[in-house]
Structure 1
Amino acid sequence: MAVVNPAEVPTVSVSELPSEDVVLLDVREPDEWAAGHAPEAVHIPLGDLPARVAELAELPDDKPVYVVCRSGGRSARAAAWLNAAGVVDAVNVAGGMKSWLTEGRSIVGDREGVRAEVL
């Protein structure tokens, strides 16, 4: 697998994301996902990406896949790997879910009776 410097990964801020019809891939761990995530996001933890390439191949290939984590570090590594492997056209979301929340975008959680939050 080719090594791509995460600093060379295409990156956008949350405010630059399209407001609808966005393909969002959340690469955080299951506990972070359960606490709060974007409603339409697809969840595949960073460490699971190589084993779940078949699922990734099912994502739309006519538009970029925006990759998000908590603050942008893991998603940059994931986007670099996805682009190098030729799996999808991946773009890192700078600032991650922390910025998502700061920008006023909605989140949902999987924990009943507990308000959604970004861990």
Structure 2
Amino acid sequence: MNLSQQQWWSQFLTDEKGVILDVRTEDEVNAGKIPGSINIDIYKGQGFIYQIDELDKSKNYYVYCAAGGRSANACNIMREMGFENAYNLVGGFSEWDGPKE
């Protein structure tokens, strides 16, 4: 599900089962990220699938990338794998004006 930045962040802040998932590359993450996010690079292909499969499917995932394209793909993959709640950050990190580290 695509959410605007405001919806995505405010929903995450009130979600006791919320997890932020960054699907960018390691280099992108090293240049800055949303605090507390976990990184699983979608470009790792099958490795991405293996790592996603180890996540707790009862949690709600707030997924982002640089612009919103890779994270939209990640949300679709996660839904196919049985994750009920994966929320895509529209605009991605490039348009993010929330907290960064």
Q: For this structure pair, what is the TM-score category when the shorter chain's length is used for normalisation? A: 0.7 to 0.9
- Pick aligned residue for 1:71 from 60, 67, 74: 67
Cα deviation per residue 1:59-116 (whole Å; 9 max; x = unaligned)?
4433421110011011111111111122463221111112322xxx1111xxxxxxxx
Give the stretch that moved more between structures: 83-92 or 29-38: 83-92
Larger CA Rg, structure 1 vs 2: 1
Cα deviation per residue 1:35-66 (whole Å; 9 max; x = unaligned)?
00011101001123632545434544334211
Give the structure-2-normalised TM-score: 0.78
Give the 3 Å change call, closer, same or farther, for CA 19–70 of structure 1 in structure 2.
same
Partner of 2:21: 25
Letter in 1 for 2:76: A
- Amino-acid identity (%): 31
- Pick aligned residue for 1:15 from 6, 14, 25: 6
Structure 2: distance between partners of 1:72 and 1:89? 17
Structure 2: distance between partners of 1:60 and 1:99? 28
Please provide the CA RMSD for this pair: 2.1
Give the structure-1-normalised TM-score: 0.68
Alignment length (residue pairs): 96
Letter in 2 for 1:99: E
Structure 2: distance between partners of 1:49 and 1:43? 14
1:85 aligns with 2:81: yes
